[in-house]
Structure formats: structure tokens, C-alpha cells
């Protein structure tokens, strides 16, 4: 019977092997997965899922079907194809719901600048002022934690003084020393902004 191809089980044989276990179970699982893998393409076209999401939904469906067949939950009132397709359809709907519910939007990160695009122009200026005020207050707090030298150096730098001008104003030896000191101060400031 070796024709170079594996024997293709009927749906009834797949069901029997999945229930009995043994060495034929693995081949039955593989054949079940391969036989209806075209559902993946249907998930992409009918449900507008990405290929990865549709593949995940199909894989989950096959695993669920195998489990239900093995523990006798599948009663055989429909064909194996219809049964698997119903599970797959439900998994696709679950994927769509998951992406469109508020639960998934909680984990979506967007910058305040992006969020301001959704706010009306009149409200935008109020929101922006509040953000700016909060940002400035937070910056002032962090600068106070840095110490006088860093606060003075960064203050002059933020007002567009050159490193050479800052060196003369504060009493550093060279512009290079100012640059190195500024970088250290900025790194300290960055560390202060990190959540603990």
C-alpha cells in the first residue's frame, strides 16, 4: 500500500483515532489540521483578519475540536468540517471583539500629542496649557533635585547660550567642560524622570 503518499483518513477514522489515542492519533491531528487549513484564507477575506490572526484562530479551533472530539463532547450531529468551521467562525469573532473592545484600547499607548488630534480646537488650547503647566511644574521639581550647578547650566543652555558663553558666565575652564557637564546633568535629569 506504499504509494509514496500517506493514507488519508476519512472524517470518521480521524474521529475514532482521536478518541482512541495511540500512534494514529498524531497523524489524525495532522490530517485534520491540513485538511481544512484553507479556512485561514477565509478568515482573512470574510473576517478581515491578518494572516497571523487568522492562523491563530484556526490553530486554536483545531486544538479545541481535537479536545472536544477526544473527550466525547462532539456528538457527530454535523460533519467534522461544519463542526470545525463553527468553532473557527467563533474564534474569528472573538479576535474581532478583542480588538474592538475598550479592554484592548487600555493597552494601546498613544502620546498626548496624538490624543490632541481628537480634541476640538477650543478644547485643545486648554488641554495644551494644562499639559504645559504640568510639564513645567514637574521640570522645576526635577531641576531642584539636581542641585544649583546643573540647574544654572541647564537654564542658560535652554535659553540658547553657547557652551563658550556658559563657561564664561559660570566660571568653567572651557566650553568642552561645559558640554561634558551639561551631558551629565541631562543624564541625571533623565534618571529623575524614570518611574521608580
* Dist. CA 116–CA 36, nearest whole Å: 46
Q: What is the DSSP letter of 6?
A: P
pLDDT score for 117: 54
Higher pLDDT, 101 or 23: 23
- Per-residue model confidence as pLDDT tens digits over 28-39: 888 888 899 899
Say whether pTM exceeds 0.85.
Answer: no
Higher pLDDT, 193 or 59: 59
Higher pLDDT, 82 or 125: 82
- Per-residue model confidence as pLDDT tens digits over 130-187: 656 666 777 778 778 888 888 888 888 888 888 899 889 888 888 888 888 888 888 8
Q: Are 92 and 49 in contact (CB under 8 A)?
A: yes
pLDDT score for 1: 41
pLDDT score for 77: 87
Residues written for the chain: 196
Domains, the chain, ranges and CATH?
11-105 (1.10.1740), 112-193 (1.10.10)
Q: What nine digits make up the cell of 110? A: 498613544
- Per-residue model confidence as pLDDT tens digits over 71-85: 888 888 889 999 999
Q: Are 19 and 71 in contact (CB under 8 A)?
A: no
- Per-residue model confidence as pLDDT tens digits over 41-78: 988 888 888 888 888 889 888 888 988 988 888 888 88
- Per-residue model confidence as pLDDT tens digits over 96-122: 888 776 444 554 555 545 555 555 555
* Dist. CA 169–CA 174, nearest whole Å: 11
Amino acid at each position: 500500500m506504499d504509494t509514496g503518499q500517506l493514507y488519508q483518513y476519512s472524517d470518521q477514522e480521524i474521529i475514532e483515532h482521536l478518541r482512541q489515542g495511540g500512534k494514529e492519533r498524531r497523524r489524525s491531528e495532522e490530517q485534520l489540521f491540513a485538511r481544512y487549513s484553507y479556512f485561514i484564507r477565509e478568515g482573512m477575506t470574510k473576517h478581515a483578519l491578518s494572516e497571523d490572526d487568522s492562523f491563530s484562530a484556526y490553530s486554536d479551533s483545531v486544538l479545541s475540536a481535537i479536545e472536544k472530539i477526544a473527550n466525547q463532547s462532539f456528538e457527530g450531529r454535523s460533519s467534522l468540517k461544519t463542526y470545525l468551521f463553527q468553532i473557527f467562525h467563533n474564534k474569528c469573532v472573538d479576535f474581532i471583539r478583542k480588538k474592538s473592545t475598550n479592554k484592548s484600547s487600555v493597552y494601546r499607548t498613544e502620546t498626548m500629542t496624538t490624543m490632541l488630534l481628537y480634541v476640538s480646537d477650543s478644547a485643545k488650547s486648554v488641554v495644551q496649557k494644562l499639559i504645559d503647566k504640568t510639564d513645567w511644574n514637574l521640570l522645576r521639581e526635577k531641576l531642584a533635585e539636581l542641585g544649583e550647578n546643573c540647574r544654572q547650566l541647564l537654564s542658560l543652555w535652554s535659553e540658547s547660550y553657547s557652551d563658550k558663553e556658559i563657561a564664561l558666565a559660570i566660571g568653567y575652564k572651557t566650553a568642552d567642560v561645559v558640554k561634558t557637564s551639561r551631558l551629565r546633568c541631562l543624564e541625571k535629569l533623565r534618571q529623575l524622570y524614570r518611574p521608580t
